[in-house]
A and B are shown apart, each in its own frame.
Chain A
Amino acid sequence: MPERFREDLCEPDRKELAEGPAYRFELDRRQWISSIGAGLLVTAAGKVVFSPGGASAQVRPSQRLHLGEDGSITVLTGKVEFGQGSRTEILQAAAEELRVSPDVLRVMLADTAETPNDGSTAGSRTTPSTIPVVRRASAAARELLVRTAAEAWNLDASELRVEAGAVVRAGDRFSYADLARAQRPASTVDDSVPRGVPLREVRNWTVLGQTLPKVGAREIVTGAHRYPSDIVRPNMLYGAVLRPPSYGAQLESVELAPGRELGAVVVRDGEFVGCAAKTSYEARKALEAISETAKWRTMAHPPSEGLGAYLKRHAQPSAGGRRGARRRESGDVDSALAAAQTLEASYEIPYVQHAPLEPRAAVAEWDQDRLTVWTGTQRPFGVREQLAEAFRLGADRTRVVVPDTGGGFGGKHTGEVAVEAARLARAAGKPVSLRWTRAEEFAWAYFRPAAAFEARAGLSGEKILAWDFTAYNPGTAAIETPYAVPNVRTQYIPCDSPLREGSYRGIGATGNNFAREVFMDELAGAAGLDPLEFRLANLDDGRLSAVLRAAADRFGWSASKSLGRNRGSGIAAGFEKGSYIAICAQVRVAGGSVEVERLVSAFDCGAILNPGNLRAQIDGCVIQGLGAALSEEIRFAGGMLVNGSFARYPVPRFRGTPPMEAVLLNRPDIPPAGAGETPIVAVAPALANAVFAATGQRMRSLPLRARAA
């Protein structure tokens, strides 16, 4: 499948960042030294090939599993680990089907020279697409082990079982290492293993479905793990890059000599200006010296004040293509509205910054015209293409390795830091490590889109008859209402955005769900119903109703209505990427601030792969959502951020983390969906609705600005 279609499948939200390379630079096949030893490579479909190991080992896209002659077992995927637990869950999936103890396995992630291309690590796709592929390859390897042993021992394969990584018979043992050695004939391609070896049923799981300590935790707690910003190469220099003083500013002139006089390597290539030196301190000093000489032509840029109106004025209703406008209609919305009691409201959300704790970082190293870059990106193969394009290299000369990285949340899909480090390394003739500063990460990464919404609905009694929803710029995720409404019109209109936008946890689902779930609360009020009852009355999706009921039960929803002045509870739900969330929250409004007193979520993502990791993901996602609901808002004026630092852009901290509980609804009968994104979508509307219950003030924009009554 071509790269772009694969990406498309991974995250169909129209706000997914898609832009050309950041820079246009003027600027004999050798196998990568493989860390994969001799043994067998197994595909998900059960094809097996002998790998001699070492420099001539070649992993092809479909190869998922390596069984070493030395007894090592390696799972190969192009996914990345950014803290969401993919490494551990992939390991569990393989261990389950191979029938081995998880600690004998190794998971190799995201190395474009060694692992298959699994697209981006985004859109919660690791669980529904990568886990099954790893399970199938592992089941195929297990089946091959059984068959080979059966043949050797002249027994019926159905009499043999794999336990602890081997088939055992009266003192005789045949392991995966034996299998790897038995399949010696050079490059045997074995088609004898049938497709579709059955996977272990959920009720028989022994490794999946369990909480497993995080793989690599020991390296984390001892400081031994090397994140992208920690990679060190021989003779490596440290880099720093010149940034414009404001968005859209063009470099007119700059003197490079002041930087060179300080001993730094200085390079200018078109708009790119950067320095590299023995220490990051020296690189920064050289950059400062250059920076003082730079002349810029600035450009008018709108302020964040009045952003919603700006977006509507710059709407692109006729924009076409995959990222263009979209309109869907079923039933007859206008007639239904004309005949019903109608209500309408507008909503807004600001830009927010992911601000992963590790800023963008890359180490680039050239070997003649071959490039290797270690970097923290959610799209290793996409960044390889960016590098290949920027330096006019073949993909086979460009290698991207993604060490487990310090957070992303959808914010690290791009490869600008990789390209910059590679450009500096090219000029220096040495490896270069480049780590963006926090200020750069705030200003020059990309943002969760800002958006505006217009909602209109027609009610008849407790039922919604018509639903008319227009979303300006948030993206398309979760734009369709999950409620049962006979007449629905949904429009998505992209806008000319003042800031660079891209993915985020849930992307469009955060804004679309905020507007919808607050509007549902307003409609409940108009219908004279309890917000929970009103939602249930308009739902025919059993799973969404179930999470709503579960959250409300645990929270004690009916009992917590009258909480007195400035205290109240709210409820909201959401469905996105195959999983369901409902949240009940209780708030107290004091002065101008909203304190969350307690919060209960209920979540259903199908069969649970690792309950401990799932709880951690829900926790993190919900608390990150508290930030977007209560304090996070990117502000800008004069072409620059006015709050581009942690001092001015408050994010959630220990204090303010409310007592929380998550009810997990396990559905062993339903294939698992990802969980790292969906919980966030119900946080802001639940809080907004709680503020209304507490103060009577309707919250229609984020972050919430409430005043005690």
Chain B
Amino acid sequence: MARFTVQVNGNQLAVESPPDRPLLDVLREDFDLTGTKYGCGEGQCRACTVLIDGQPTASCLTPISSVDGMSVTTIEGLASGDQLTALQQAFVEMDGAQCGYCTAGMIVEATALLQRNPKPSRSEIVDVMNPHLCRCCGYRNILASVELAARGWEANDA
């Protein structure tokens, strides 16, 4: 057991944990942030994606010791209060979720993508999102959601 400190969604949080425990478990079980999902535990589905110092990362493969002192953003940390981000709003409007279990990972990944590249082409979106699995196979609505948000962000920038 050791003590680790992580800045999660802007809050400094500490946990006593074995060093190799996955960040995913710590978020869900110690910090009650259950928006980040387990889908496979081996990097194959990306339902567990969070931002670590801004980088989309599979939290199931991330030992807690490796993020000590770093900042983590989860799906719960995106909206400000009642105000959804443009991307979250786009997922609501374009019916981007069926069961919604993959949605957190999709939104976290696409948030980082749009920050890097506010006007991605469809093939750029597909390349970045491809590791994310949606077993409901709602891929077309997910793409439409990301594209809508990209258009919206473009309009805001102009």
Contact = CB atoms under 8 A, between A and B. Distances in A.
B34 A223 contact: yes
A627 B40 CA distance: 18
A435 B40 contact: no
A645 interface: yes
23 contacts: A211-B95, A213-B92, A214-B97, A221-B92, A222-B88, A224-B76, A227-B101, A279-B30, A354-B135, A357-B101, A357-B135, A404-B99, A406-B100, A407-B136, A438-B41, A438-B45, A619-B137, A619-B139, A619-B140, A627-B137, A654-B126, A654-B132, A655-B126
A438 B40 contact: yes
Nearest to B24: A280
B140 A225 contact: no
Interface in B100-134: 100-104, 107, 126, 129-134
A443 to B, nearest CB: 14
B99 A654 contact: no
A221 B134 contact: no
Contact of B97 (A217, A226, A645, A647): A217
A83 B138 CA distance: 10
A281 B17 CA distance: 10
A653 B130 contact: yes
Nearest to B97: A220
Interface in A609-625: 612-613, 616, 619-624
A567 B134 CA distance: 28
B82 to A, nearest CB: 9
B43 to A, nearest CB: 8
B114 to A, nearest CB: 15
A660 interface: yes
Interface in B129-158: 129-143
Contact of B44 (A404, A406, A645): A645
B59 interface: no
Contacts of B130: 653-655
Contact of A221 (B88, B136, B137, B141): B88
* Most central of A82, A216, A406, A612 by chain B CB within 10 Å: A406
Contacts of A225: 100
A621 B88 CA distance: 24
Nearest first, the 6 A-B pairs at minimum CB distance are A223-B35, A83-B99, A406-B101, A223-B75, A220-B100, A623-B137
Contacts of A359: 38-39
Interface string A201-234: 0000000000101101110111111110110100
Given A358-B37, A406-B101, A652-B139, A280 B29 contact: yes
Nearest to B107: A221
Interface in B56-107: 74-76, 78-79, 84, 88-89, 91-93, 95-104, 107
A359 B29 CA distance: 17
A616 B95 contact: yes
A646 B44 contact: yes
A281 B75 CA distance: 23
Nearest to A407: B99
Interface of A: 82-85, 211, 213-214, 216-218, 220-227, 229-230, 232, 238, 279-281, 354-359, 404-407, 409, 435, 437-438, 612-613, 616, 619-624, 627, 645-647, 651-655, 657, 660
Contacts of B21: 279, 281
Contacts of A223: 33-36, 74-76, 104
Given A213-B93, A220-B100, A653-B133, A619 B84 contact: no
Contacts of B47: 357
A660 B135 contact: no
B95 A654 contact: no
Interface in B5-35: 17-18, 21-22, 25, 28-30, 32-35
Contacts of A652: 137, 139
B84 A281 contact: no
B42 interface: yes
A619 B101 contact: no
B99 A405 contact: yes
A128 to B, nearest CB: 21
A435 B29 CA distance: 13
Given A406-B99, A657-B139, A279 B32 contact: no
B84 A221 contact: yes
Given A222-B79, A223-B75, A357 B34 contact: no
A134 to B, nearest CB: 21
Nearest to A441: B40
A590 B107 CA distance: 34
A358 B99 contact: yes
B59 to A, nearest CB: 13
Nearest to A358: B101
A86 to B, nearest CB: 11
Contacts of A613: 95
Given A238-B29, A357-B134, A222 B35 contact: yes
B41 to A, nearest CB: 6
A437 B76 CA distance: 24
A277 to B, nearest CB: 11
Contacts of B126: 654-655
A646 B92 contact: no
B143 A83 contact: no
A359 to B, nearest CB: 8
Contact of B141 (A84, A85, A280, A619): A619
B135 A435 contact: no
Nearest to B79: A222
A229 B41 CA distance: 14
Contacts of A355: 135
B100 A213 contact: no
Nearest to B21: A281
Nearest to A433: B29
Contact of B45 (A85, A221, A226, A646): A646
A438 B34 CA distance: 18
Contacts of A437: 41
Nearest to B29: A279
Contacts of B18: 281
Contacts of A616: 95, 98, 138, 141
Given A223-B74, A281-B18, A645-B42, A230 B34 contact: yes
